[in-house]
Structure 1
Amino acid sequence: MAIRERLSGNEATAIAMKQINPDVVAAFPITPSTEVPQYFSTYVADGVVDTEFVAVESEHSAMSACIGAQAAGGRAMTATSANGLAFMWEALYIAASSRLPIVLSAVNRALSGPINIHNDHSDTMGARDSGWIQIYSENNQEAYDNMLMAHRIGEHPDVMLPVMICQDGFITSHAIENIELVEDDKVKAFVGEYKPAHSLLNRENPISVGPLDLQLHYFEHKRQQAQAMANAKKVILEVSEEFYKLTGRKYGLFEEYKTDDADVVIVVLNSTAGTVKYVIDQYRAEGKKVGLIKPRVFRPFPVDELADALSKFKAVAVLDKADSFNAAGGPLFTEITSALFSKGVFGPKVINYIFGLGGRDVKSNDIEIVYDKLLEIANTGKVDSVYNYLGVRE
């Protein structure tokens, strides 16, 4: 019987961590992720978990401590946002290339400067090529559920990669929503124990972690890392199916909302999908055939599946809550258009909107502007501007 609760996204994440009961949590506070280790530290103080909580002096140290713990054979977790994630930059690459399945709660926040504590996706999008699996969460329930699945995905012997579970700062991290929790014993059975084949404390099979790796082997190790990321797609689906059998909540690589007969769709990550769904319901009542595709998994990027799903539409708008500063489009847009081109899908007209930077409100009438433009493109077949900004004072 599921446990019904009302929780913020940060508290839901901390409860997931409590149920997982990792060996080590190392963390440094930064808004808006601070509450995650703060809530978790109370479980440590109360003896609810037997985790070693390491209060470090910086985010770089937090990830470094997690790397050491995971390399020693432990299960390690942390949480951060924005500049904290940027301060981890060097260590992010080391964790991934060392094949250490650390789990990080990434509470998305604008990356300075100018300094800003509110939500966009510039932090995790900046880390998109660091070798971490990235899974995005529309609401508190998804953030909790994704955290429960993260270790099973990252620790799979065909993967062995670290995992970021992303949710929107303040919008979901601090907002309280109804949520269904899984019972502690069921979480324990689902997640299981971490039994790495190799670790620093295994005296029978001595290893080194993070050695000097020059021309003779570096390329091969990077190729193995890339293959692990490719393997992760299948593992994510397998773990999600097992989670569905446990909870009745179904997750894939992405979610489709009212796309069966849609002419046009918006593609967007995280909490904005909720606003888009609201507008879709309104437009559907007026007979307008609009839909949504919400990617859940950004790394590994589901090229084949998204290209196939998008091929049936007349027009597509990709909404990016981060800018690539490449004068050509945001990170999600360039991934989507690359997928379509590489798979020979040239049917839909695809445009991009940069939106919501620094926490700028995204209202239903903003989404209506996008759908109206898409419906116009679908009718005329003409695109006047590919790379656009939404809700900014030009």
Structure 2
Amino acid sequence: MMEIMEGSHAVAEIVKRCRPQVVSAYPITPQTHIVEDLAQMVANCELDAEYITVESEFSALSACLGASAAGSRVYSATTSQGLALMFEVCFNVAGMRQPIVMTIANRSLGAPLSIWNDQQDSISLRDSGWLQFYAEDNQEAADLHMIAYKVCEDHDVLLPAFVCFDGFILSHTYEPVDLPSQEEVDAYLPAFTPYQRLDAEEPLSFGMYATPEYYMEFRYEIDQAMRRAKEAFIRAGREFGEQFGRDYSALVEGYRLDDADTALVAMGSICGTAKDAVDEMRDAGRKVGLLKIRTYRPFPGPEIAEALKGVSTVAVLDKNISLGNGGAVGTEVKSALYGSGAAVYDYIIALGGRDVRKRDIAAVVDLAEKGEGDMFYGLRTEVL
């Protein structure tokens, strides 16, 4: 049923329909509305789950880890400094192969303190073993939670996932969202069947001490599971499309790329602005397109190379910075396109929630086509 609702409420509603058995989270702007809603649903007996209140984000994810190890479907949400406080536990969750789904309402990291949007928080945990999915709008944010559970809980994957959507830009914006009924979600997402769980009758040990003779093999297995997650996502996205009419079987999504000479590459809500900018440039006779990355982990390198085959200039819009090197997405896109002949330029943009307008996107294209790139776009040089 189509409803106009705030992004955070849409996420809470779809999470409820995914039937998590345990929810634990600590409130932090701009994630708070999600877990407020879920806490209210549990209190009103609308969601049959245990809601564990805790004193910090570290405790929240620790509680989720224990609940998942005991065999429950688990959910959490956080952002920014809260995710940073979870750093140690994030590695433990992935290393113990627990299929937890966690929403990230993307927000800048301090210092200086900022409550506004960029993608530095989730990008900073790109190597933790969590799948990372990025939503362009609130419909995609809701849908990706269903897909995330299906992929995470696949016994060929068994990894946790971040479902990332831009704080405030999406989390606090009202948009039309088509929410499937409980019966429809149940038909798509079956009840959780843990691969293994803690059981006093059949004791197991999770996350034990590993000597040098064994540690590397554990990391190898996580890497292989991450690679298998590609096919699992494609299957889950295709099944979603067959049932709901919105196909998510592509790890990347092209927009007006067929005859493009120049391509923008981006993730998240900035893709909506980029599409409008592309339309205006197309109307002016410029052959520009957009490639949206939906899954940052696993990284769709071959899919990017295929989608941008024949493009001469690529401009990556990075809402993060790997300090001293460049944008994280740009670095990996350059690797994916190495040897293709395309000129790839990286633009650090919109950090700390700075506005990006269509004219800014067009200006980035101008810079890329002139061969000027690998820069912070829009710096206020007068304050440096």
Both structures adopt the same fold (TM-score exceeding 0.5): yes
Give the SS at the match of 1:206: coil
Deviation at 1:216, TM superposition (A): 2.1
Map 1:31-180 → 2, pairs under 5 A:
31-180=29-178
Counterpart for residue 374 of structure 2: 387
Give the SS at the match of 1:47: coil
Give the SS at the match of 1:18: helix
Deviation at 1:307, TM superposition (A): 1.4
Equivalent residue letter for 2:258:
D
Deviation at 1:209, TM superposition (A): 1.1
Deviation at 1:174, TM superposition (A): 0.3
CA distance in 2, matches of 1:332, 1:94: 25
CA distance in 2, matches of 1:40, 1:222: 34
Counterpart for residue 361 of structure 1: 355
**Contact 2:367 2:373 survives alignment (8 Å):** no
Counterpart for residue 240 of structure 2: 243
CA deviation digits over 1:186-221, x for unaligned, max 9?
A: 101211111112100262x42111111111211111
CA distance in 2, matches of 1:49, 1:170: 26
Equivalent residue letter for 1:102:
I
Give the SS at the match of 1:216: helix
Counterpart for residue 9 of structure 1: 7
CA distance in 2, matches of 1:16, 1:113: 33
CA distance in 2, matches of 1:152, 1:169: 24
Give the SS at the match of 1:28: coil
- When the two chains are superposed, the root-mean-square deviation of aligned CA atoms in Å is 1.0
Map 1:190-209 → 2, pairs under 5 A:
190-201=188-199, 203=201, 205-209=202-206
CA distance in 2, matches of 1:199, 1:390: 49
Map 1:20-35 → 2, pairs under 5 A:
20-35=18-33
Q: Does 2:364 correspond to 1:370?
A: yes
Q: Does 2:284 correspond to 1:290?
A: no
Equivalent residue letter for 2:348:
I
**Contact 1:24 1:76 survives alignment (8 Å):** yes
Deviation at 1:311, TM superposition (A): 2.7
Counterpart for residue 380 of structure 1: none
Deviation at 1:9, TM superposition (A): 1.3
Q: Does 2:207 correspond to 1:213?
A: no
Map 1:311-390 → 2, pairs under 5 A:
311-326=309-324, 328-341=325-338, 344-345=339-340, 347-374=341-368, 376-377=369-370, 383=371, 385-390=372-377
Give the SS at the match of 1:281: helix
CA distance in 1, matches of 2:237, 2:203: 34
Structure-1-length-normalised TM-score: 0.95
CA distance in 2, matches of 1:197, 1:179: 33
Can you give the 5+ residue segments of structure 2 that lack an aligned partner in the other structure?
Answer: none
Equivalent residue letter for 1:293:
L
**Contact 1:362 1:391 survives alignment (8 Å):** no
Equivalent residue letter for 1:211:
M
CA distance in 2, matches of 1:282, 1:361: 19
**Contact 1:136 1:166 survives alignment (8 Å):** yes
Structure-2-length-normalised TM-score: 0.97
Equivalent residue letter for 1:151:
Y
Give the SS at the match of 2:168: coil
CA deviation digits over 1:341-381, x for unaligned, max 9?
A: 2xx32x1111111010110011111111012233x34xxxx
Equivalent residue letter for 2:264:
I
Equivalent residue letter for 1:240:
G
CA distance in 2, matches of 1:337, 1:139: 26
CA distance in 2, matches of 1:24, 1:318: 38
**Contact 1:102 1:162 survives alignment (8 Å):** yes
Question: Aligned pair count?
Answer: 380
**Contact 1:73 1:201 survives alignment (8 Å):** no
Give the SS at the match of 2:365: helix
CA distance in 1, matches of 2:200, 2:300: 36
Give the SS at the match of 2:337: helix
CA distance in 2, matches of 1:42, 1:260: 47
Task: Describe the shift of the 1:93–1:262 C-alpha distance in structure 2 as closer, same or farther (beyond 3 A).
Answer: same
Give the counterpart of 2:225 among 222, 225, 228: 228
**Contact 2:262 2:288 survives alignment (8 Å):** yes
CA deviation digits over 1:117-159, x for unaligned, max 9?
A: 0000110010111100000000100000001111100010110
CA distance in 2, matches of 1:310, 1:258: 11
Give the SS at the match of 1:267: strand
Task: Describe the shift of the 1:66–1:297 C-alpha distance in structure 2 as closer, same or farther (beyond 3 A).
Answer: same
